[in-house]
Amino acid sequence: MNLKLILVLVLIFGVQQLYSQENYKTISKEDSTKTYPGGKPYEVKTFKQKFKAKKPKNVIMMIGDGMGTTAVFAGLTANRGHLFLDNFKHVGFSKTQSSNGYITDSAAGGTALSAGQKTYNGAIGVNTDTVAIKTVLEMAEDKGMATGLVSTSAITHATPASYIAHQGSRGSYEDIAADFLKTDIDVFIGGGYKHFTVRKDKRDLTSELKQKGYLVLRDMDEIAKVKSGKLAGLTSDEHNEVYPKRKMNLPIATQTALNILDQNKKGFFIMIEGSQIDWGGHANNTIYVVNEMLDFDQTIGKALEFAANDGETLIIVTADHETGGMALTGGDMKTGMVKAAFPTGEHTAVMVPVFAYGPGAENFTGIMENTDIAKKIMKLLGF
């Protein structure tokens, strides 16, 4: 190729770049977050539907915070018509209302899913009289099963907190962190390092965790190397960053936790949260919702891989509520483009999907209360 030709090519390419940038600039800042332009799709595998047992030995509870049907379908469109969720043949709906709200928050929603009782907005593992109620994670621990929590928010935030802590108010982060020390949870990975270390009571909970035999790690690459023992992975001071910026990797954190928990012969219970689908909804940002949805779905893929191989693991995927009243006003299954509109920046009241895979999955169909999900899991595990 001669020099002239190269120069001409560089010029054409440069002009094209400029043109596309100009094109982008004509879209207002407001609108640019409403349209997910389409990205590189990932391959969705099909997993077997035959299982070893009738009842599960292990349960993987997966909560997409704020993940309404629209968020799911936005992700499905972005990934060209398929998600790992396609593998879930038993599907139902969950009514999310709290004891004092037609519209729930994530604390009451989380407590309904963890303990099977409707409570007030803001409640963490307590009933309407602010009395502690036992969660499915604590029941699993009582039975000698291994337990875990993984989230892309701070691990002390409402959803994971609802499984392990008992506090009258979701904002009591330091008290929630201290509640982790009252349990024997085997693995937890998420943000919130600050609430374990910078505290009014001057306790350093990370050194207390170490005394209890936990490996306390902050680096995702180091966390990914852990194969056994007790693990406290605190990957950021507060919440982990937005996908794909965050160093915390939800699919890898999930895989790591599952491999550790699987060593317990009595089985395990774990809750894994895609925390930030909700925050994309609050921000009325389609790109944010779709990116978080796809990260969560690929995490579901890791859980499916484990469960299909294991044959005794039940996976439940659901949401605590819908966020933003998200509506799809445009999209393209071929390019993955999705356009959405949002009537609110708050949560909404609509029922949310429930997906089940594995032994016992057939129990999770039809319209149910969010509290029924916890009750069904407890029954299946013999609690």
What are the catalytic residues? 106
CA-to-CA separations, 374 to 9, 16, 212, 218, 381, in angstroms, rounded: 62, 55, 29, 31, 11
Is 320 near Zn ion (CB under 5 A)?
no
Collapsing DSSP to helix, strand or coil, 368 comes out as strand
Span from 130-138, 158-166, 225-233, 297-305 in contact with Mg ion (CB under 5 A): 158-166
Q: How far is CA 310 from CA 4, 75, 306, in A?
A: 62, 27, 6
Residue 195, phi then psi, degrees to nearest 5: -75, -15
Closest among 326, 355, 367 to 96, alpha carbons compared: 367
- Counting residues that bind Zn ion (by CB under 5 A) gives 1
Nearest to 187 by CA among 270, 110, 266: 270
Q: Report, in Å, the least distance between residue 322 CB and Zn ion.
A: 10
Among positions 58, 106, 254, 299, the unique one binding Mg ion when judged by CB under 5 A: 106
Beta strands in the chain (DSSP E): 35-36, 58-64, 90-95, 146-154, 187-191, 214-217, 230-234, 268-274, 313-318, 322-323, 327-331, 338-341, 347-348, 352-357, 366-369
Q: Which is nearer to Zn ion, 278 or 372 (CB)?
A: 278
Residue 159 interacting partner from Mg ion, Zn ion, none (CB closer than 5 to 8 Å by kind): Mg ion
Q: Which residue is nearest to Zn ion (CB)?
A: 278
Q: Which stretch binds Mg ion (CB under 5 A): 22-30, 178-186, 272-280, 374-382?
A: 272-280
CB 65 to Mg ion: min, Å: 4
Choosing from 98, 159, 254, 286, the residue that interacts with Mg ion (CB under 5 A) is 159
Q: How near is the Cβ of 282 to Zn ion at its closest, in Å? A: 6
User: By rule CB under 5 A, what string of x and - marks binding of each residue 278-297 to Zn ion?
Assistant: x-------------------
- The rounded distance, in Å, linking the Cα atoms of 364 and 90 is 7
Identify any residues that bridge with 59 across adjacent strands, giving them in sequence order. 269, 314
Got the DSSP string for 219-252?
Answer: -HHHHHT--SSEEEEE-SSSS---TTT-SS-HHH
Total residues found in the chain within this entry: 383
Smallest Cα–Cα separation from 113: which of 275, 317, 254?
A: 317
Q: Spell out, one character per residue from 60 to 79, where the chain touches Mg ion: x when CB under 5 A holds, - when not.
A: -----x--------------
CB of 57 or CB of 347, closer to Mg ion? 347
Binding characters for Zn ion, 241-280, by CB under 5 A (x = yes): -------------------------------------x--
Shortest Cβ 370–Zn ion spacing (Å): 15
Q: Which does 284 bind (CB under 5 to 8 A by kind): Zn ion, Mg ion, none?
A: none
Q: Which of Zn ion, Mg ion, none has residue 275 at its interface (CB below 5 to 8 Å by kind)?
A: Mg ion
- Does residue 173 sit in helix, strand or coil? helix
Least Cα distance to 244 among 322, 296, 171 occurs for 296
Whose Cβ is closer to Zn ion: residue 179's or residue 278's? 278
Coil, strand or helix: which one is 140?
A: helix
Among 135, 275, 298, 318, binds Mg ion (CB under 5 A): 275
**Residue with smaller CB distance to Mg ion, 111 or 159:** 159
Residue nearest to Mg ion (CB): 159
Q: CB under 5 A: which stretch of 45-53, 118-126, 271-279, 353-361 binds Mg ion?
A: 271-279
Binding residues for Mg ion, rule: CB under 5 A, are: 65, 106, 159, 275
Binding residues for Zn ion, rule: CB under 5 A, are: 278
